[in-house]
Each structure stands twice: as structure tokens, then as C-alpha cells.
């Protein structure tokens, strides 16, 4: 695994243009799509990047070979894989933590096989009353044991989450504990704007605050929120229907300067409108 931040400035072919500018001069802005037709979905939304699951998001399944792998690798799309939601390597529950480590390794391998730039995984959570230091150390052990086995085949990006009072990556004081433990292994970070807002972290200065902890932001999940600040609810909304000013999303994307994935509802039409908003805002 590399310690270098993922570059977004060279994800597009040299001659590609949008609104009179070369796409090499812009971040790769894309969408979370269904895995049955990622290239087609990208075309319908105008996406330059895609993110998807390799299996059902709530399943404990090893990914199978993807039929579109060769076409995806031959495309100009920046590709990201999201790990299943069930993965929780922080937990004190052995029946969840140990299979989670195995599942993360399997999905990281599957992501590498389709040419993904990285795999995204949630920070996870502990039960009420559990010592957060144990969860943080469980994350450290995940990277340490992977390193002993030759390392992950592509970058692991840890994402902030919206809910749970004993979550590992909701509050940034806890995030700092995590990075003190795992930073030496070179993980990346995904900043989700909905999760931050609903998790109780203010957006105007958030890029600087994250970088002060992690030293990097590798991907932005650009989402508005259906629910109020610090609600703890992970419910994404389109940019024009959320509970905060979507200029804050554009500001985060602008300041982060990395690839952006829209995970809003509404299919190609709704996501396409949000992608277009960002492209215009980042001109």
C-alpha cells in the first residue's frame, strides 16, 4: 500500500473536454452505481468516475469475477469499490471482527482485479460501554496482519460515518485516535459530507481539520443530508433537497482537490443533476 495520496488530475484522456476545458484540469466527478452496468450508468449520468459494490452490500460473500472487468479497465473511468456494510473490523465481537478482516481482504483483492484505484470501508463501531481504545487497536491489528501477509493489493480508504455514539470515525477526536494507531500503514481517508453533517462535524473548515488529523483526503463522498445537523442519521439527499446549503459540498470538493463520488438518490437523473452542479461550481 502506498503512502502517496491518490491523484485525480490525470484520470481522464488528454483530449477529453467538458464545457471548453480539458477534463485533466478537473477532478474526476462521478457516482455510486449499480454493479450490473457501471459503464452504462456512468454514460447516463455524465460521470467520469464510478463506485459500486462487488456483492450485495449487506452480504457476507466473497466477490466473484466481474463480467465487465476488461471493459472497465479499458475505459477512461476512475473506479472505486465500496466494501460491504457488514464489515466491522473495530468490534470486540470475534464472530464479526474476524470474518470482517477476511471479507475486507477478499473484496480488496476483487477490487484490484478490476483495476480499482482503492476500496472504501466504514470505520465501524463498538458496543455501548466498550473501550474505544480496543476498537482502535483492532484496526491496527487489521493492517498489521495484512502487512504480514504481503499487504493489501490497493489502498484502503477509511470513511467517516454518521451515527453511533461509540463509532470509530464519527467524531474527529476518535478519528485522531484511529490515525495515531494506523497512520504508519498508509490508509487513505474518504470524507462524506452527509455523514459529517449528520455526525455533528461542521463543514466550513472540515477539510483543514481532517488533514490536520490524517494528512490527506483521497476521496469525497458528495451528499446532502435528509436530516438535521448531529442527527446521527445516514440518509443522503440530492443537493437541491437537503438540510444544508450545497455550496458547502462544492467548497469541500474544491478544497479537497480529489476525486468526488455522488451517492445521492434519484438514479441517473438525480445524480446527473448533482454531478452537473459540482462541475459548474468547480469551474
CB 194 within 8 A of CB 225: yes
Query: pLDDT-derived band of residue 8, with 50, 70 and 90 as boundaries?
Result: very low
Least confident of 22-36, 51-65, 123-137, 150-164: 22-36
Q: What is the 8-class DSSP label of residue 243? A: S
Whether pLDDT at 22 is above 70 = no
- Render pLDDT for 186-235 as a digit per residue (tens, 0 to 9): 999 999 999 999 999 999 999 999 999 999 999 999 999 999 999 999 99
At residue 4, the pLDDT reads 33
CB 209 within 8 A of CB 179: no
Give the H/E segment covering residue 180: helix 172-182
Mean pLDDT of all residues in 134-152: 97
CB 160 within 8 A of CB 191: yes
- Burial class for 119, CB neighbours closer than 10 Å (0-12, 13-18, 19+): buried
CB 135 within 8 A of CB 172: no
At residue 6, the pLDDT reads 31
Query: pLDDT-derived band of residue 12, with 50, 70 and 90 as boundaries?
Result: very low
How far apart, in whole angstroms, are the C-alpha atoms of residue 259 and residue 26? 9
- Assessment of whether the complete model's pTM goes beyond 0.85: yes
In a 13 Å sphere around the CA of 113, the CA atoms on its Cβ side amount to: 14
Give the H/E segment covering residue 41: helix 38-45
Catalogue all structural domains in the chain, each as residue range(s) with its CATH number: 47-281 (3.20.20.150)
Whether pLDDT at 13 is above 60 = no
Q: What is the 8-class DSSP label of residue 48? A: S
- Render pLDDT for 82-120 as a digit per residue (tens, 0 to 9): 999 999 999 999 999 999 999 999 999 999 999 999 999
At residue 26, the pLDDT reads 62
CB 147 within 8 A of CB 107: no
Angle (nearest 5°) at CA 276 between 270 and 282: 140
- Burial class for 67, CB neighbours closer than 10 Å (0-12, 13-18, 19+): exposed
Q: What is the 8-class DSSP label of residue 266? A: S
Angstrom CA distances, 232 to 132, 170, 192, 207, stand at: 18, 9, 13, 20
- Render pLDDT for 169-194 as a digit per residue (tens, 0 to 9): 999 999 999 999 999 999 999 999 99
Cβ count within 10 A of residue 57: 12
Amino acid at each position: 500500500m502506498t503512502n502517496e495520496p491518490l491523484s485525480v488530475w490525470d484520470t481522464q484522456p488528454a483530449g477529453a473536454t467538458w464545457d471548453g476545458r480539458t477534463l485533466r484540469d478537473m477532478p474526476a466527478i462521478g457516482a455510486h452505481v449499480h454493479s450490473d452496468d457501471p459503464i452504462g450508468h456512468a454514460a447516463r449520468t455524465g460521470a467520469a468516475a464510478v463506485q459500486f459494490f462487488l456483492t450485495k452490500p449487506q452480504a457476507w460473500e466473497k466477490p466473484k469475477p466481474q463480467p465487465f472487468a476488461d471493459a472497465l479497465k479499458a475505459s477512461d473511468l476512475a473506479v472505486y469499490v465500496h466494501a460491504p456494510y457488514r464489515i466491522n473490523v473495530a468490534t470486540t465481537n470475534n464472530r464479526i471482527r474476524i470474518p470482517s478482516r477476511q471479507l475486507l481482504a477478499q473484496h480488496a483483492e476483487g477490487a484490484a482485479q478490476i483495476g480499482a484505484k482503492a476500496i472504501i470501508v466504514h470505520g465501524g463501531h463498538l458496543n455501548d460501554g466498550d473501550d474505544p481504545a480496543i476498537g482502535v487497536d483492532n484496526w491496527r491489528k487489521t493492517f498489521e496482519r495484512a502487512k504480514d501477509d504481503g499487504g493489501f493489493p490497493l489502498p484502503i480508504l477509511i470513511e467517516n460515518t454518521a451515527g453511533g455514539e461509540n463509532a470509530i470515525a464519527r467524531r474527529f477526536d476518535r478519528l485522531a485516535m484511529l490515525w495515531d494507531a494506523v497512520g504508519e500503514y498508509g490508509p487513505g481517508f474518504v470524507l462524506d459530507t452527509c455523514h459529517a453533517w449528520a455526525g455533528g462535524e461542521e463543514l466550513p473548515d472540515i477539510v483543514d481539520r481532517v488533514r490536520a488529523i490524517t494528512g490527506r483526503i483521497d476521496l469525497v463522498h458528495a451528499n446532502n443530508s435528509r436530516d438535521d445537523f448531529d442527527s446521527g442519521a445516514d440518509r443522503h439527499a440530492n443537493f437541491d433537497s437537503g438540510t444544508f446549503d450545497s455550496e458547502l459540498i462544492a467548497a469541500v470538493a474544491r478544497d479537497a482537490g480529489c476525486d468526488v463520488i455522488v451517492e445521492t438518490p434519484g438514479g441517473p437523473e438525480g445524480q446527473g443533476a448533482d454531478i452537473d452542479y459540482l462541475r459548474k461550481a468547480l469551474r
